[in-house]
Every structure is written in structure tokens, then in C-alpha cells.
Amino acid sequence: MRRYSSAEIFGAFVGSSVVHLLLLIPTLVTLQIYDRVLTSRRSETLLMLLAAAVLSLAAWWIVDTSRVRWHAARAAEMEAQLAHDLVPLMLHLPALQAGAAIQQLWRDMAALRKFTGGPALLAVIDLPWCLVYLLVIAAFHPLLGAVALCGVLMLVGLAWLTEWRLRATVASAEDSQLQAQRSSGEIAAFAEVLQAHGQQDQMGAAWLAIRDRAAGAQLAADLQGHSLKGWGKLLRQVLQLGVLAIGAWLVLQGHATGGVMIAGSILLGKALMPIEVLIGGWKQQLEARKALLRLRHAFASKADVGRLWPETVLPPAKGELRLVDVGVALSPDRGAILHGLSLTLPAGALLAVLGHSGSGKSTLARVLAGVQVPTHGEVSLDGAALRQYSARARGWATGYLPQDVQLHDGSVAHNIARLWQPTEALTNEQSDAVVEAAQRAGAHALITALPRGYDTLLGSAPGAQLLSGGQRQRIALARAIYATPGAGVPRLVVLDEPDSHLDADGEEALARCLHDLRERGCTVVVITHRPHLIASASHVLVLVQGAVEQFGPREQVRQWMVRRNRAMLARQESRA
């Protein structure tokens, strides 16, 4: 994480010193006007003092504006550096964690930038000048200095009270806001199902209740913050009035002048201002402190993960797949989804994975595709563990079609070419590879029938084309088998229920695609229940409760299933 250098810290304090020294001049001018001009009645002296005050204020405005802009620029630079350092790390996290981690990352960076580029940090830098102003007030008269010191201590106590009162309230408000955001995301994701089941009213009432709780928690935090901020303002006004009253009493006693009375009140306001700003922005400081802790934890994770990123470039894979005692558990207190999976699949094989719902088939697909890291065990390609491949090399070597098909904003060609929000047009080589992948997936005719063909916009952008489930699945299949120019065809293709939305034509196109992949030497893993896909497989894996019940060549597994079914039928007949 980028830190302020010694030169930058020194420069910040120098800028603060210049600003406050220039602000002292109008106060001293006020003192001179009361003590010299009003008694001497010399207009020349008044004009000279006013000129000095105007010049000092002009210089103060220039310096203060410059330092505010400098801090804002440093905050923006810090946020950009954080993004460059941490976003790649977040995107290398397991897919189930990456989405929430990236959202939290943006919020933390925004909170830290808001603090470092706002008035709160300037108030922290200006705090040493509180002591300078107190010394100047004490130089006017010790009694005035004592009153000012008491006022500063009272405000410091109020700042501590603000920290104590707001810590738990701000944390509760933040948790409530996160819950409301998650609920909004669920409503957007399940809009079709909610509308089909007529749940709009029920879901709306539930979401409004969550939103009201979040708003109530936020209001409670805001009200406490505003209340304490108001007490701070009131205390400052009372203290300034008290200094005026004591100054007036000193004037009456002949121990001070009218200029000292006015100047002391002005300087007390300047001394209390940084503390008052900190009290008013305490909620922002608490958020920035929590964000800084999370960002430091992320950087510590980056140091740990960075040592595991491969540095040696492995040769292109051929497709031999091996699993050794692979297991997946989402958390220590929950049972394993997969456990003890061990098998070897030769290059160019087609594996059909069978099993009841909840047996771990989709989890296995995510593990093979590199989306989910096994809790224990190893997955290797050509004898090298998947973690030994860089993310780009592994991506070139693999293709993945998840059960829940998602197409991002962009054109059909961008989706197939695996390009998210590209800044440049596709090259001729990329365009040729996109068309070839679509043809091999049997989606070329489907795509050219769209309004703009391969340039048809998809996703949620305005004007995007709405596609059926089968159309999305066939385009996603083309994306899975897309061959990056210069990298060769994918050597491992993982398909999770690839025909769940396909019609008869789509199923025929899928069968031709699988045959073509095997002809090209690709290793294919298909999660399926369809007999025609099982019949085209070279190997079959049967999962039961996350473990291997049977694995081997298709005919061997078929005979085992026949024997098992006969045995089950015999047991049922004996019971009857």
C-alpha cells in the first residue's frame, strides 16, 4: 500500500504552517486596529493595516486552495494505486468469494479516499496549531490562556465521547446497509421467478422492511453524530463568549486592552476549529479506519498469494487429466461436498459424470475448470498441478460451460472471444477464431440470423438482444471451445449440463461438437443425465455423496450398472 513519503509529510506540515501563519495576520491586524488606530485616529495606519490583511488573505487563499487540491490529487493517486495492486488479487480469488470481495474493495477504497482527500485529514495536520494559538492567547493574558486550554480539553473529551458512542452504531449501520444491498442483488437476480410466482408484494414488503431497518440504523448513527457535532459547535460558541466576557472584565480592570479581548476570541475559534472538524467527521474517520484495516489484510493476503503465483511458463498442455484425493469443503463446520476423488483420464477422452442432485457434480466441474480450488488433494494437467499454470495459460488450455449460463454486456463476438469491455476492435485472427468456434458449436447459423450477426449486443445494456435459454447455451458453448489465436485449441473442456436448454437441433449440434473435440484431441468432461451423451463417452464417473462410486471405461461401468440394477431388483423381489 502506498504511504506518504517523508518529503510529502514534511510538505503537508509546511503548507499547514504557512496557512496558519497567514491567518494570524488578520487577527493581529484586528488587534492593532482596536489598540492603535482607534486611539490614534490615523487613517494612514488603518489603510496600511487593511492592505496587509488583504494581502495575507489573498496569499492564504492561494496556499490553502493549493494544499486542498494537492491532498485530493494524492488521494486519487492512492486509490488508483490500490486498485492496480488489489484488483488482480481479487480476481484470482475463488469465484464464490470474488464478487463480494471486489464490492467491498471498492467501498473501502472510496472510504479511504474520502478521508485522505477531505477536510478530516487536513484537520489532523492542523492540530499542532491548536497549541500555537493557545500559547498566543496565553501571551495576551494567562487567564485567557487557562480558559482556552479548558475549552480545548473539553472538546477533546467530547471527541472521545464521539468515538465511544459512534463505534457500535456505525458498525450496525454498515452491516444493515450490506444486507440491504445483498437483498437488492437477489431481487435483480430472481426477478423472473418472483414475477412468475406472484411474489412481488411479499418480496417488496420484505425488502422494504430490510431497507427500513438499514435506514433506521443509518439514521441512528447520523443523529448521534449530528448531536455530538451540535454539542461541539455550542461548546465553541460558549467558550468564545466566555473569552469575550473575561476579556471585557480584564479591560475593565485595566489588565488588557479591547484589541486583546477581540483577538483572543478570534484565536480561540481558530484553535478549536480542527477539533470541531474532527468531531463532525468522526463517522467518516471510523469508516476509513475499518477500511484501512481490511485493505492491510488484503495486502497481507496478496503477499501470501503472490508467492504461490507461478513464474515458470509451462509448455502447452496435451490434456491428460489426473485427480489425486481431491476434496472440497466450503467451511470447517460443514460436511465435505467432494472427498477422496482419485482418477486418471487420458488425453482425448470424453468423461460423462453421473450422479443424483447434490452429489457434487457441479462442484467437480468448477474444480476441473479452475474456478474452485480444492480444499485438499491435487488436480493436474499433463502431470503438472493446475496451480503451476498461470491464469492466462490455464484459460487458454481450458474451456468451461457452467450450468447457469451468463453472457456479459458486449457483442456476441466479444462474448465468444472471452473479451470483457474491450478497448480495441477484434483482430482478423480473433474474428476468424470466433467464427470457427461458433461453427464447431453449431451456432453460426443461429448467430447470423440475429439482427446484427456477430455484432449483436447482449447483456443488460440498452438495445441488447434478448436470447432464449437455448441460444445463450449454444453461444456459451462456442465461448467454451474458443481457441485463442496462437494458443491452439483448448485441451480440456468442461461442460455442466450443456443440453439442458437445447432442442433437437441443438442436441445434434452438441453431439457433432463433442465428436469434433475428440477428433482434435481435446479432453472433454460432461455433466449429464442424457443417454445419448453417455453413449458417446469413452469413460463414465458415477458420484454418490461427493465420492466415487464407480469410474472406468464406458462399457465397464455400463456392465457394473446392469449388475447393480439386477441386484437391487432381486432384493426388492425377495422383500415382496
Lookup: cell for 407: 453472457
**Between 386 and 365, where is the model more confident?**
365
Residue found under cell 458420484: 543
Instruction: Considering only CA atoms, give the Rg of the chain.
Output: 35
Distance CA 432, CA 569 (A): 54
Q: Which three cell numbers stand for residue 328?
A: 472440497
- Helix, coil or strand: residue 230: helix
Whether 29 shows a pLDDT value over 90: the answer reads no
Greater confidence, 145 or 175? Answer: 145
The crossing angle, in degrees rounded to 10, of helices 258-280 and 128-140 is 160
Find cell 472440497 and name the residue: 328
Instruction: State the DSSP code for 221.
Output: H
- Using the predicted structure, report yes or no on whether residue 569 has a pLDDT greater than 90: no
pLDDT at residue 38, rounded to an integer: 74
Taking alpha carbons only, the member of 370, 420, 400 closest to residue 92 is 370
Q: Where are the alpha helices (DSSP H) in 190-321?
A: 191-196, 200-252, 258-280, 282-306
DSSP secondary structure letters along 30-83: HHHIIIIIHHH--HHHHHHHHHHHHHHHHHHHHHHHHHHHHHHHHHHHHHHHHH
Rounded CA-CA distance 442/502 in Å is 12
Cβ–Cβ under 8 Å, residues 398 and 490: yes
State phi, psi for 139 to the nearest 5 degrees.
Answer: -70, -30
Own/partner pairs for 543-546, CB < 8 Å, 24+ apart?
A: 543/353, 543/354, 543/355, 543/359, 543/360, 543/361, 543/364, 544/355, 544/356, 544/359, 545/358, 545/359, 545/360, 546/328, 546/336, 546/337, 546/338, 546/339, 546/359, 546/360, 546/363
pLDDT score at 92: 64
Report the distance separating Cα 232 and Cα 153, nearest Å: 12
> Cα-Cα-Cα-Cα dihedral of 131, 132, 135, 140, to 10°?
-140
Reported confidence tier of residue 474, pLDDT bands at 50, 70, 90: very high
Rounded to 5 degrees, φ, ψ at 540 are -135, 135
> Residue 196's pLDDT band (boundaries 50, 70, 90)?
low
Given this model, what pLDDT does residue 540 score? 93
pTM over 0.85? The answer is: no
Closest CA to 258 of 42, 32, 23: 32
- Helix-then-strand count for the chain, H and E: 20, 12
CA–CA gap between residue 473 and residue 28 (Å, rounded): 77
DSSP calls for 265-277: HHHHHHHHHHHHH
Give, rounded to a whole angstrom, the gap between the first and last alpha carbons of the chain.
72
Percent above pLDDT 70 for the chain: 89
What letters, b where the CB count within 10 A reaches 16 and e where it falls short, cover 301-329?
ebeeeeeeeeeeeeeebbbbbbbbebbbb
Q: What is the pLDDT of residues 216-268, one digit of tens each?
A: 877 777 777 677 777 777 877 788 788 888 888 888 888 888 888 888 888 88
Residue 244 corresponds to which amino acid? L
Angle between helices 504-519 and 428-440 (to 10 degrees): 120
520-536 residue pLDDT tens: 889 999 998 888 888 88
Question: Quick one: average pLDDT of 183-200?
Answer: 65
